Chain A
């Protein structure tokens, strides 16, 4: 018989799951658990400076490796602080496990010190959640949490563990097997055949690749399919990297800030093959006018995504890797010369930032992309810099692009980059950020320094909330309100205060040289890039409008 406390059970089960790094912050109600972690020889704990940072570090580990990661928080404010990172994981289908401390079971419901209803608050933002009432339950709950997080469409799971449950000693016979994904039933062969037939008959098909392709480890099959039948491909924000940016069939990103030629090609396509994408509003624009000439094939693992936004003509429910592998031999090889010639013409007619200069955001991002190795990991925060990076960074591989898509959380970038660096110590991680975003989780600079991680922060500083400023400029009569920071923050000084190396490109005559030096220096580094508050992300589809009505998208030329 085995006799262990709840806290030891959690730590040992995480070890058995293969967890080697956890992030978090201790507090009164998870101290027994922390005490147990202190005795683990397998698991390293990384101390964040805010629980939201711990949550995003776990995301950075998971997004860059595909493996589930674990973050910890105490009860009350610890739990409320980490909610944003969990909600973010839910919207982007990221399988992280969050373990929170809770007040002892007899105190639940008494408004005890640092008590909040963590279980109740996390119902709508997790794939599933647990409140553990007895240490013996941990033997099923922990493996089950991993199974749920990884099965089907992935997602975050939260486990709330009262302090007395952590301390409770229980006796049991054997350790349970680690939780793993339950296989998804294979797609219906009739649906596969119908999809193949539609693809083979199409004159002007487009593949619309989303984050699901990456979650399913299906990018090679997706590429093979595109190449065999010469199908031009657009990617959602999370799908970037499925096809390399410079692949001849890549049309880059679609949607609100997508490539102009991608949006125009979608206007003309006669078949849209959506794979692991959910027709998000930033991608589709006004849905009724999205792909007006196209039939739709929707390949996805989640039945509730079928017909949710756009009625599909063919639905293929199943794991994308299997679905695409079954589809591939049924797809006829085609040259598709006429359609590809037309797509090339659109690319020439509507290029992205053709006149980018060295210190323009677009030019600088391209330069960084040129300087970085193939396996570099790039994170972003949320806002203008995120869209410029999505558009201009030469995405080369999947799982190298970490960005908060669904929730659009400012403050995501730095901690996600830290998580990626923790999980990939031999690779360089670059976080493109804006001054508004960086200020939302700037305390994690301390973590980056403490762990001496190879994280480079490239900070576009316009002393404003740039995308808000841009919308006020374009849609609110230039009435800038609450979008300018009146006081200039000295980010280089702040970085120095945290113990980081830092430099500014302000006034530099050889920015590329400075950049290269900074990127080559081991350890964390902040590169400050001042920019004009009137620089804008184009094209931009006005909220609620159709993609063809994008601004800066020369729609007036095409009446």
Chain B
């Protein structure tokens, strides 16, 4: 991978669970030419919310991206974790060549 030396960060989004939410979130990233390296989405049991995990580059536009995510009507909360967060690390076995 060429992007190995880029700093990464993990975003945890709590969103309303209905069709179209994923489009709103990923559309925001493509619209602002911001790369998403990894994406994971599952409903939160016994609620009407879903959780979206995003693995993104930690560059100088990240703050603007988080503000834009917070503006989406279906996004309830955005939390930023360090790159060390293990949600994507634990999935690596599913993505071996």
User: For the complex, is B90 an interface residue (Cβ under 8 Å from A)?
Assistant: no
Also in contact, A307 and B63, with CB within 8 A (given A124-B27, A128-B73): yes
CA distance A306 to B64 in the complex (A): 9
CA distance A123 to B24 in the complex (A): 6
Taking a contact as CB atoms closer than 8 A, the residue among A119, A120, A131, A304 that contacts B67 in the complex is: A304
Specify which chain A residues have a CB less than 8 angstroms from the CB of B23 in the assembled complex: 119-120, 123
CA distance A148 to B71 in the complex (A): 11
Q: How far is the CB of B69 from chain A (nearest CB, A)?
A: 9
Q: Are B70 and A303 in contact (CB under 8 A)?
A: yes
Q: How far is the CB of B65 from chain A (nearest CB, A)?
A: 9
User: For the complex, is A308 an interface residue (Cβ under 8 Å from B)?
Assistant: yes
A-B contacts besides A303-B67, A303-B71, 9 pairs, CB < 8 Å: A123-B27, A124-B27, A124-B31, A127-B73, A128-B72, A131-B20, A304-B67, A304-B68, A308-B64
Interface 0/1 of B1-40, CB less than 8 Å to A: 0000000000000000001100110011001000000000
B71 nearest in chain A by CB position: A304
Specify which chain B residues have a CB less than 8 angstroms from the CB of A303 in the assembled complex: 67, 70-71
CA distance A304 to B73 in the complex (A): 14
Q: Are B24 and A304 in contact (CB under 8 A)?
A: no
Specify which chain B residues have a CB less than 8 angstroms from the CB of A124 in the assembled complex: 27-28, 31
Also in contact, A148 and B68, with CB within 8 A (given A119-B20, A123-B23, A124-B31): no
Q: Would you list 28 pairs from A and B whose C-beta atoms are within 8 A, ordered by A residue?
A: A119-B20, A119-B23, A120-B23, A123-B20, A123-B23, A123-B24, A123-B27, A124-B27, A124-B28, A124-B31, A127-B73, A128-B72, A128-B73, A131-B19, A131-B20, A148-B73, A302-B71, A303-B67, A303-B70, A304-B64, A304-B67, A304-B68, A304-B70, A304-B71, A306-B67, A307-B63, A307-B64, A308-B64
A125 nearest in chain B by CB position: B31
CA distance A285 to B67 in the complex (A): 25
Specify which chain B residues have a CB less than 8 angstroms from the CB of A128 in the assembled complex: 72-73
Interface 0/1 of B50-71, CB less than 8 Å to A: 0000000000000110011011
B67 nearest in chain A by CB position: A304
Specify which chain A residues have a CB less than 8 angstroms from the CB of B28 in the assembled complex: 124
Q: How far is the CB of A533 from chain B (nearest CB, A)?
A: 37
Specify which chain B residues have a CB less than 8 angstroms from the CB of A119 in the assembled complex: 20, 23
Q: How far is the CB of A496 from chain B (nearest CB, A)?
A: 45
Specify which chain B residues have a CB less than 8 angstroms from the CB of A120 in the assembled complex: 23
In this complex, which of A119, A127, A304 has the most chain B Cβ atoms within 10 angstroms of its Cβ? A304
A147 nearest in chain B by CB position: B73
In this complex, which of B19, B24, B70, B73 has the most chain A Cβ atoms within 10 angstroms of its Cβ? B73
Using a CB-CB cutoff of 8 Å, which residues 42-97 of chain B contact chain A? 63-64, 67-68, 70-73
Using a CB-CB cutoff of 8 Å, which residues 269-310 of chain A contact chain B? 302-304, 306-308
B72 nearest in chain A by CB position: A128
CA distance A124 to B33 in the complex (A): 13
Residues in A lying within 8 Å of B, measured CB to CB? 119-120, 123-124, 127-128, 131, 148, 302-304, 306-308
In this complex, which of B31, B70, B71, B72 has the most chain A Cβ atoms within 10 angstroms of its Cβ? B71
Specify which chain A residues have a CB less than 8 angstroms from the CB of B70 in the assembled complex: 303-304
Specify which chain B residues have a CB less than 8 angstroms from the CB of A307 in the assembled complex: 63-64
CA distance A119 to B19 in the complex (A): 11
CA distance A446 to B71 in the complex (A): 40
Q: How far is the CB of B20 from chain A (nearest CB, A)?
A: 6
Specify which chain B residues have a CB less than 8 angstroms from the CB of A306 in the assembled complex: 67
Specify which chain A residues have a CB less than 8 angstroms from the CB of B67 in the assembled complex: 303-304, 306
CA distance A148 to B73 in the complex (A): 8
Specify which chain A residues have a CB less than 8 angstroms from the CB of B71 in the assembled complex: 302-304
Specify which chain A residues have a CB less than 8 angstroms from the CB of B73 in the assembled complex: 127-128, 148
Please name the 9 residue pairs, one residue from A and one from B, whose CB atoms are nearest each other, closest first.
Answer: A304-B67, A128-B73, A123-B27, A124-B31, A303-B67, A304-B68, A123-B23, A123-B24, A124-B27
A308 nearest in chain B by CB position: B64
Q: How far is the CB of A535 from chain B (nearest CB, A)?
A: 38
A133 nearest in chain B by CB position: B19
CA distance A148 to B16 in the complex (A): 15
CA distance A456 to B28 in the complex (A): 41
B31 nearest in chain A by CB position: A124
A148 nearest in chain B by CB position: B73
Q: How far is the CB of B73 from chain A (nearest CB, A)?
A: 4
CA distance A549 to B36 in the complex (A): 39
Specify which chain A residues have a CB less than 8 angstroms from the CB of B20 in the assembled complex: 119, 123, 131
CA distance A120 to B31 in the complex (A): 13
Q: How far is the CB of A126 from chain B (nearest CB, A)?
A: 10
Q: How far is the CB of A455 from chain B (nearest CB, A)?
A: 36
CA distance A306 to B70 in the complex (A): 14
CA distance A302 to B70 in the complex (A): 11
Specify which chain A residues have a CB less than 8 angstroms from the CB of B31 in the assembled complex: 124
Q: How far is the CB of B18 from chain A (nearest CB, A)?
A: 9
Q: How far is the CB of B70 from chain A (nearest CB, A)?
A: 7
Q: How far is the CB of A92 from chain B (nearest CB, A)?
A: 17
CA distance A148 to B20 in the complex (A): 17
B66 nearest in chain A by CB position: A304
Q: How far is the CB of B11 from chain A (nearest CB, A)?
A: 16
CA distance A474 to B23 in the complex (A): 43
CA distance A442 to B72 in the complex (A): 36
A124 nearest in chain B by CB position: B31
CA distance A410 to B64 in the complex (A): 30
Q: How far is the CB of A378 from chain B (nearest CB, A)?
A: 32
Specify which chain B residues have a CB less than 8 angstroms from the CB of A131 in the assembled complex: 19-20
A117 nearest in chain B by CB position: B23
CA distance A120 to B23 in the complex (A): 7
CA distance A302 to B19 in the complex (A): 27
Q: How far is the CB of B16 from chain A (nearest CB, A)?
A: 11
B24 nearest in chain A by CB position: A123
Specify which chain B residues have a CB less than 8 angstroms from the CB of A304 in the assembled complex: 64, 67-68, 70-71
Q: How far is the CB of A414 from chain B (nearest CB, A)?
A: 30
Specify which chain B residues have a CB less than 8 angstroms from the CB of A148 in the assembled complex: 73
Q: How far is the CB of A182 from chain B (nearest CB, A)?
A: 12
